[in-house]
Chains A and B, each alone.
Chain A
C-alpha cells in the first residue's frame, strides 16, 4: 500500500508532545524499543506524520530515514490521519476476485485520494483492507460503520455522493 505524505496540516498539542517525549525518555534505552515508541506515538496522534517522526528521531538518536523505513514497512502504521468519512474497500480474496480492485480504483478516482491517504480537506480517507468477513456480499466497501455489498464500480459515485455535503 502506498504511504503518501499527508496533505492535512499537523495539529499536535503540547500535551501530546509531552506525553510522547516522556514515553520515549522512559523506554529509549531498552533494546527493541523502537516499535513500542512508534506504536505509542500512533496511539497518541492517531497517525505518524513527519513532525512526530522527526520528534522520535531527535529523542532516540535513530536516523529519521530508519524511523520512516519502519513506519512504511509495517501495515499497522499510518502516515495519514483518518478522515471524517472513512472509506475502506476490501481487497480480500473473495472481494478481489469479484472485482473490488475496480471498485477501489473508482473510489480513488472519484475522491482524488489514493488508498492509504486523506483528502486535503480532511473529509475523506481511503483504505484498502483485508477481509472484513462479509464474503457473501463481495465485493464489499465500508463507509464509517456501514457496509455496501455486491458492488460494481459504477455504484461508487452515487454512494459517495451521500457523504459529500
Chain B
C-alpha cells in the first residue's frame, strides 16, 4: 500500500494514500469533531464541524472528506479552526430546541459534548428556546423530534445504504429542510422495518426509541404480577459500554445480578429460547430437505428482516421458517411450560425481554404472537439502552455488582444459543445440530468458521451424509436484497439462508448502546461485540442446542418432539404480504 507522510499538530504519521485528514488525525491520536460523517456511508462534508487548517489549502478544509498529500502539515487546533467550529456550533444551536436536562440523550449527545468542549456559553442567534417540538411517533419503536435535528443525514445514510429501505431522507430546502418520509407520511406508512439503526447513529436526541421502562417498573411494583425477564445474547456483549467497560466486554454475570436486584421474580435467558429455536428450526429444515419442502429455508429470528420480507420480497414468504423468533418463543414458554412448572396462572405472569433491537417493540404486537389463552407472549420489551437506564435509576453501582447466574428454570443454555447474537451465529448453531442429526455422528469440529465474521454475505458448502448442503448468511438488508436477487436470478442455489436485518447481526442492533461518531468511525462495533459471544461459546462445555439438559427436559416433559402439535401451537407462526404504502396498494417500489 502506498503510504503518505504527514504531520498532525507537529506529530509525524504515515497513513495510506487516499486517507482523509480526519483519518490521519486519528492515526496521530487526535479527534477532530464530526456531526455528519459516518465511515463508509456518509462522507458529505455537510455539518462543517471538522473544519481544519492544512498546508497548501487556501481556507479551512472539511477534514472528513479532504484527502491528505505527501508532506501535508495539519493543524487541527488552530485558532482559525476553533473559531469556525464554534461559530458553526452556535448556528446549529440557534435552531436546536435545547432542553438538555429533559432530553433522553442528555450526557450522551455529541452536540452537547461539543458545545461544552468549545465553551459555547451563549447562543447569540435566533431564539432556540421558542422552538416547538416536531414529533413523529406513528410507530411502536421510534420517536423523531426534528426540532433537535442537525441535518447531518447519518440516519438517511444508514437507512439508504446498509439497510437499503431508504424510508427517510431530506425534503425541501433552505430553512424548510427537514428529515422525513415521502409526502411526510408516518414511518409506519412507508415501509420502515423498525430496525432502529437511525437511532444508533443520530448524534443528538432527534431520534430515540419509544421508552417502555415505565411499563416494566409498574409491573415490578405490582404485587399481583410474577415478573420474569429474559435477555438476548447480544445484550451481555454491549451492556457494559453503558457503564464504562471496554467495547466487547461480556457482562453476563453483573447483568444477572442487576436484573435480580431490579426485582424480577425470574431472571432467565433468551439464549435458552435460542436453543429451542434451533431444535424447532433444525427439525423444520431436515423435514423440508427430506420431504421436498420449499428451499432455501430462510431464518426468521430478526423481526426487521421479517418485516422487510413481507413488504419488499413477499415471494420469499414460503421460504421463511415458520419458527417464531427466540424472544417470542421465550414468552410463549414462560406462559405455558414455566407457568405449569412454577404453578402460576399464566395471566399473572408478566414477561419482559431486554433486547438489542427496536424492531422487537413492533414484533411483540404482531398478530399471532399470543400463544396461551390469548395472552401476549411478551408483555414489554426494552432495549439494551433502556435496561441500562433502569439499572442507573435503581442506583446500582454496576461495576461493583457480583457476578451471578440465570435462574435454572429457564436459564440453562449452550454455546449455540450464545452466538445467535452475531451474524452467522444462527446458521452455525443450526449446523451443529442439523449435521449431527442427519449423519447420526458426533461432529469432530464445532466451529463453522466460514459463516463467521462481519462480511455482508457469506457462503459455504458442507458435505453432510453424502449431501452437499449449501448455506448463505447475509446481514444488513442491502446484502439480504443482493442475496435474494441472486437466488431469484438462479445464480445461486442454497438450502439454508440466515438473514439478519442489522449489519453484523444483533450485536449491532438498533437498541444497543450508542457510540459516538469518533468511536464508530474507527472501531468496528460488529466485530468487537461478536468476539465476546464467540469466546463465551468457545469456553462452554455444551455447545450444541440438542445437548442442552434444559432442552432435553422441555421436550421430555412438555413439548414431546420438535415440530409436535404443541410445539406448533406455541412456537410457530405465519407471515403475510404487507403493503409498503397503505392507501396506495399494489404499488411496488
Q: Which residues of A contact B589 (CB under 8 A)?
A: 54, 57-58, 61, 63-64
Secondary structure type dominating chain A contacts: helix
Contact A72 B173 (CB under 8 A): yes
Q: A50-B183, A54-B584, A68-B182 are in contact. Are A73 and B173 (CB under 8 A)?
A: yes
Q: A2-B176, A5-B184, A50-B183 are in contact. Are A58 and B170 (CB under 8 A)?
A: no
CA distance A54 to B181 in the complex (A): 13
Which stretch (B161-169, B264-272, B303-311) binds chain A?
B161-169
* 27 A-B pairs with C-beta separation under 8 A: A1-B176, A3-B171, A5-B183, A50-B183, A50-B584, A53-B182, A53-B183, A54-B584, A55-B587, A57-B589, A58-B587, A58-B588, A58-B589, A61-B589, A63-B165, A63-B589, A64-B182, A64-B190, A66-B169, A67-B182, A68-B169, A68-B171, A68-B181, A68-B183, A72-B173, A73-B173, A79-B183
Secondary structure type dominating chain B contacts: loop
Q: Which residues of A contact B183 (CB under 8 A)?
A: 5, 50, 53, 68, 79
Interface centre among A3, A64, A68, A73 (most CB of B within 10 A): A64
CA distance A53 to B589 in the complex (A): 10
Q: A68-B171, A72-B173 are in contact. Are A63 and B584 (CB under 8 A)?
A: no
Interface centre among A2, A65, A66 (most CB of B within 10 A): A65
Contact A69 B584 (CB under 8 A): no
CA distance A2 to B170 in the complex (A): 14
Q: Which residues of A contact B173 (CB under 8 A)?
A: 72-73
Going nearest first, the 10 A-B pairs with the smallest beta carbon separation are: A63-B166, A65-B169, A68-B182, A64-B182, A72-B172, A69-B169, A72-B171, A54-B587, A73-B173, A65-B182
CA distance A53 to B183 in the complex (A): 10
16 extra interface residue pairs, beta carbon distance < 8 Å, beyond A3-B171, A63-B169, A69-B169: A1-B176, A5-B183, A54-B584, A58-B588, A58-B589, A63-B165, A64-B182, A64-B581, A65-B169, A65-B181, A65-B182, A67-B182, A68-B169, A68-B182, A68-B183, A69-B171
A51 interfacial contact with B, CB 8 Å: yes
Q: Which residues of A contact B181 (CB under 8 A)?
A: 65, 68
Q: Chain B's nearest CB lies how many Å from the CB of A158?
A: 32
CA distance A51 to B183 in the complex (A): 11
Report the count of interface residues on B (CB-CB < 8 A): 22
Q: Which residues of B contact A5 (CB under 8 A)?
A: 183-184
User: Looking across the interface, which residue of chain B has its beta carbon closest to that of A4?
Assistant: B184
Interface string of A4-44 (1 = CB under 8 A from B): 01000000000000000000000000000000000000000
Which residues from 146 to 197 on chain B have a C-beta closer than 8 Å to any C-beta of chain A? Answer: 156, 160, 165-173, 176, 181-184, 190
User: Chain A: residues with CB nearer than 8 A to chain B?
Assistant: 1-3, 5, 50-51, 53-55, 57-58, 61, 63-69, 72-73, 79
Q: Which of A2, A50, A58, A65 contacts B166 (CB 8 A)?
A: A65
Q: Which residues of B contact A61 (CB under 8 A)?
A: 589
Interface string of B308-319 (1 = CB under 8 A from A): 000000000000
Interface centre among B170, B182, B589 (most CB of A within 10 A): B182
CA distance A72 to B169 in the complex (A): 11
Interface centre among A1, A50, A55, A69 (most CB of B within 10 A): A69
User: Looking across the interface, which residue of chain A has its beta carbon closest to that of B581?
Assistant: A54
Q: Which residues of A contact B184 (CB under 8 A)?
A: 5
CA distance A66 to B182 in the complex (A): 8
User: Looking across the interface, which residue of chain B has its beta carbon closest to that of A3?
Assistant: B172
CA distance A95 to B169 in the complex (A): 35
CA distance A149 to B358 in the complex (A): 57
Q: Which residues of B contact A79 (CB under 8 A)?
A: 183
Contact B584 A66 (CB under 8 A): no
User: Looking across the interface, which residue of chain A has its beta carbon closest to that of B167?
Assistant: A65
Q: Which residues of A contact B584 (CB under 8 A)?
A: 50-51, 54
Q: Which residues of A contact B176 (CB under 8 A)?
A: 1-2
User: Looking across the interface, which residue of chain A has its beta carbon closest to that of B168?
Assistant: A65
CA distance A5 to B583 in the complex (A): 14
Q: Which residues of A contact B160 (CB under 8 A)?
A: 63, 66
CA distance A57 to B165 in the complex (A): 12
CA distance A127 to B447 in the complex (A): 67
Q: Which residues of A contact B171 (CB under 8 A)?
A: 3, 68-69, 72-73
Q: Which residues of B contact A55 (CB under 8 A)?
A: 587
Q: Which residues of A contact B587 (CB under 8 A)?
A: 54-55, 58
CA distance A69 to B179 in the complex (A): 9
Q: Chain B's nearest CB lies how many Å from the CB of A3?
A: 6
Q: Chain B's nearest CB lies how many Å from the CB of A58?
A: 5
Q: Which residues of B contact A51 (CB under 8 A)?
A: 584
Q: Which residues of B contact A68 (CB under 8 A)?
A: 169, 171, 181-183
User: Looking across the interface, which residue of chain A has its beta carbon closest to that of B166?
Assistant: A63
Interface string of B104-146 (1 = CB under 8 A from A): 0000000000000000000000000000000000000000000
